[in-house]
């Protein structure tokens, strides 16, 4: 796991885009997305074909089948934004805020 201070420094320099954070940390965008959720507290979900992983503050996520449908086909709930994960196939990030 990437230590919190390192993530905070990267965010201060590069912003919160998982692609940029992953590049700076030399890790996957999925790991960067989840670690950003842990560090900044924004409710975050990584949606894959077989799992949904959430991080950040508590938020009322839909059940997994509904969340997969939302992540891949929309529509997104108000305040929810989609983050494309480009380095691993069939993965999508969702962030509240």
**CATH label of the domain that carries residue 15:** 3.30.450
Residue 2 in this model has a pLDDT that exceeds 90: no
Q: How would you class 2 by CB atoms within 10 Å of its CB: exposed for 0-12, middle for 13-18, buried for 19 or more?
A: middle
State pTM to two decimals.
0.91
Structural domain for 14, as ranges: 4-96
Sheet holding 92-96, edge to edge: 52-55, 44-47, 92-96, 80-84
Integer Cα distance of 2 and 6 in angstroms: 7
Residue 93 has a pLDDT of 97
Flag whether pLDDT at 97 surpasses 90: no
Look at the chain and report how many structural domains it folds into.
1
43-80 pLDDT per residue, tens? 999 999 999 999 999 999 999 999 999 998 989 989 99
């Amino acid at each position: 796991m990437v230590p919190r201070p390192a993530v905070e420094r990267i965010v201060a320099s590069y912003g919160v885009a998982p692609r940029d954070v992953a590049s700076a940390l030399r890790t996957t965008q999925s790991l960067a997305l989840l670690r950003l959720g842990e560090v900044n507290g924004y409710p975050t979900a990584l949606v894959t074909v077989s799992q949904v992983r959430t991080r950040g503050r508590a938020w009322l996520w839909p059940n997994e089948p509904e969340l997969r449908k939302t992540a891949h086909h929309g529509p997104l709930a108000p305040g929810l934004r989609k983050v494309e994960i480009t380095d691993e196939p069939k993965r999508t990030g969702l962030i509240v805020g």
